[in-house]
Amino acid sequence: MEMTEMTGVSLKRGSVAVEDNDSVAPGEAKRQKVSECCPTKGQDGLENNSLPSGEKVPGPPKTAGEGKKNSDPQSEEEGEEDGLSEEGEEEEEAESFASMMKHGLTELDVGITKFVSSHQGFSGILKERYSDFVVHEIGKNGQISHLSDLSVPVDEEDPSEDVFTVLTAEEKQRLEELQLFKNKETSVAIEVIEDTKEKRTVIHQAIKSLFPGLETKTEDREGKKYIVAYHAAGKKALANPRKHSWPKSRGSYCHFLLYKENKDTMDAINLLSKYLRVKPNIFSYMGTKDKRAITVQEIAVLKITAQRLAHLNKCLMNFKLGNFSYQKNPLKLGELQGNHFTVVLRNITGTDDQVEQAMNSLKEIGFINYYGMQRFGTTAVPTYQVGRAILQNSWAEVMDLILKPRSGAEKGYLVKCREEWAKTKDPAAALRKLPVKRCVEGQLLRGLSKYGLKNIVSAFGIIPRNNRLMYIHSYQSYVWNNMVSKRIEEYGLNPVPGDLVLKGAAVVCIEEDDVNNYSIHDVVMPLPGFDVIYPQHKISEAYREMLTADNLDIDNMRHKIRDYSLSGAYRKIIIRPQNVSWEVVAYDDPKIPLFNTDVDNLEGKPPPVFASEGKYRALKMDFSLPPSTYATMAIREVLKMDTSIKNQTQLNTTWLR
């Protein structure tokens, strides 16, 4: 297959805001066993499937009653450790980030080397401007989720709007402290100034609605009426919203669409929990979404009214909640059908003919379904190297890869932590250098402090399971990328005898006389494991050679520790996006939005009008992708460029100034 020359795309820090669709589609888990290649965020998208060094280990919310099943390691950024959440930090860290990326990965390092189309590449800028990247979830019903309605369902059971204003700020503060057991008070008394039955009812409703777990009663004290709030059922009351106050006729879960800007799903849910004064684990969702994007996704929450949720629209910036409904069931990871993307590439250099050729190819042929760069981490130690060491049972190497000093720039406290570890091998001393203990390094050091250096397996086990599995999934992805590149190099873009295809629930090998019944879009390749078959041509031997070179036995992928045994999975090698459309627009001001968001449309904002000519040209693309695919890889195919941040840093560092 002929390789075409790569051209560059300029990206600013953090600008690869690309939603990986790494979630399991309904029915596919059994049919393709994709659960191994798409652990259930990221995904998204971790967000992504990387766990950057020094990032907090996410503690995802779990669907109520589901225990740990709804945890998702695909959320790449969390909390104050998300890298560049503030503008000031961005300027200070830009240069050090560029330095770090000099030691990062390129696509070549992770087996991403081929293209399917013959068009000439061109350059464009996927800016740091997160509003140039919009993700709409495709729900269980196959419909693209759009925030279109902020109204609250009419429900006679709901209290009046007065519940949000009847209590003073001081009273709310005292009630919150009571609810959270932050003081020694066993009750809080609120005087009823205008004593009417209606006023007392509103105060009762306000306390029970805003502070789950508190009960109320009316008392006479020295001729005055007081509403007294107290704990109904001890400390368990906070975790369990009031069951008896929820109408039986109403579904237990309030489903809503969450529109968010520049915030990942986990941070968003933690923030909603804080404002609602509930635990995050009463929320559920079908997939995590990236931070550096505008995203719309469905969320479900246990026994919180649409009225309370809608009230948050008055309090929160860059969030909107709407399209409320009450339903019987929560959401589960992997139930989504995929994601729809709207992406703007600014300042493109391609001619209209080049753009037309590139986009038609994306629409008709598609792109190679590589695992994107997010899957492999952003630091000098790729996640697949840790995964390989786990599979080799080389636990000292696992510890060393995670904790050793690294080339390039890191946050100062991480550098000090690593230096302390290298110098003393004292986990407690190294841990004291970390202000944030929830990062991977902190978790591992805590485990080493507890279990000792002779029991690294147990120490590593302190890290949440999905985050541990992410490392070995990264290794599987690394092997898969390399093998797909070899397959395309060897046999091109047509099915050949020996290729694998899905036939119902089974995976079968294409026979010589059956080749014409299939297209390249039917062909799948395995992620290595003990329960998959391999192609019956040269690529089977290539799998064996690659694993042998890594001191692994392809015939024995079971691990001494059950969690790290890989059954394997199958993944289509070419993906053809759906709902593909595009336009080239001219513009003069790099800062103006080039399309309306859902919120713009709700507010009646007219869509932008473009001149026939302008200083710059932009390519606006729309396309839908199924679960377990990467939008970066679709963009790579259009531009013919290396999507690694390292390459972008070398191509264009003007953003550093």
Cβ contact 55:439 at 8 Å: yes
Nearest Cα to 245, choosing from 297, 209, 287?
209
The candidate with the shortest Cα–Cα distance to 43, out of 204, 264, 317, 296, is 264
Instruction: State which amino acid sits at residue 432.
Output: R
- The C-alpha atoms of residue 262 and residue 131 are separated, in whole angstroms, by 8
| Pairing verdict, β 125-126 and 10-11 | parallel
Q: Widest CA span of the chain, in angstroms?
A: 96
3-state SS class at 590? coil
HSE, side-chain direction, 13 A CA sphere, residue 177: 13
* Residue 312 DSSP symbol: G
Q: Identify the segments of the chain with pLDDT beneath 70.
A: 1-103, 127-128, 155-164, 212-213, 232-245, 378, 408-410, 645-657
| Closest among 54, 15, 12 to 411, alpha carbons compared | 54
- Of the CA atoms within 13 Å of residue 383, those in its CB half-sphere come to 29
Closest C-alpha among 144, 129, 103, 8 to residue 377: 103
- How far apart CA 216 and CA 166 sit, in angstroms, is 15
Instruction: With beta carbons less than 8 A apart as the criterion, state whether 259 and 296 touch.
Output: yes
CATH topology of domain 125-151+247-366+580-656: Pseudouridine synthase (3.30.2350)
Six-digit token pair at 16?
Answer: 């690869």
Outline where DSSP puts E strands in 516-573: 523-527, 569-572
DSSP summary character for residue 426 = -
In three-state form (DSSP H/G/I as H, E/B as E, the rest C), the secondary structure along 97-159 is HHHHHCCCCCHHHHCCCCCCCCCCCCCCEECCCHHHEEEEEECCCCCECCCCCCCCCCCCCCC
> Cβ distance 23 to 38 under 8 Å?
yes
Which residues lie below 8 Å from residue 111, measured CB to CB, with a gap of 6+? Answer: 370, 478, 480, 481, 482, 483, 484, 485
Strand 224-231 relative to strand 187-191, pairing: antiparallel
CA–CA gap between residue 384 and residue 471 (Å, rounded): 6
State yes or no: is 158 an active-site residue.
no
- Across 234-380, the runs of DSSP E, i.e. the strands, are 253-261, 283-285, 294-302, 319-327, 338-345, 367-368
Q: Which of 290, 499, 622, 642 is catalytic?
A: 290
Q: How many CB atoms lie within 10 A of CB 422?
A: 13
DSSP at 496: -
Nearest to 266 by CA among 467, 16, 459, 86: 467
- Global pTM reads 0.74
CB-based contact 349:125 (threshold 8 Å): no
CATH code: domain 161-239 is 3.30.1370
Instruction: Choose among 311, 325, 268: nearest CA to 61.
Output: 268
Residue 221 phi, psi dihedral angles, 5° rounding: -135, 110
Residue 590 to residue 10: CA distance in whole angstroms: 14
Kindly report the number of other CB atoms within 10 A of residue 172's CB atom. 15
Q: Decide which of 3.30.465.10, 3.30.2350.20, 3.40.50.970, 3.40.449.10 is the CATH code for 468-574.
A: 3.30.2350.20
Is the backbone peptide bond immediately before 43 cis, with ω within 30 degrees of 0?
Answer: yes
Q: Using CA atoms in the order 401, 404, 406, 409, what is the torsion angle rounded to 10 degrees?
A: 120
pLDDT, residue 228, reads: 86
Host H or E run for residue 263: none
Angstrom distance (rounded) from CA 340 to CA 143: 10
Q: What span, in angstroms and rounded, lies between the C-alpha atoms of 194 and 452?
A: 64
Residue type, 93: E
DSSP state of 378: S
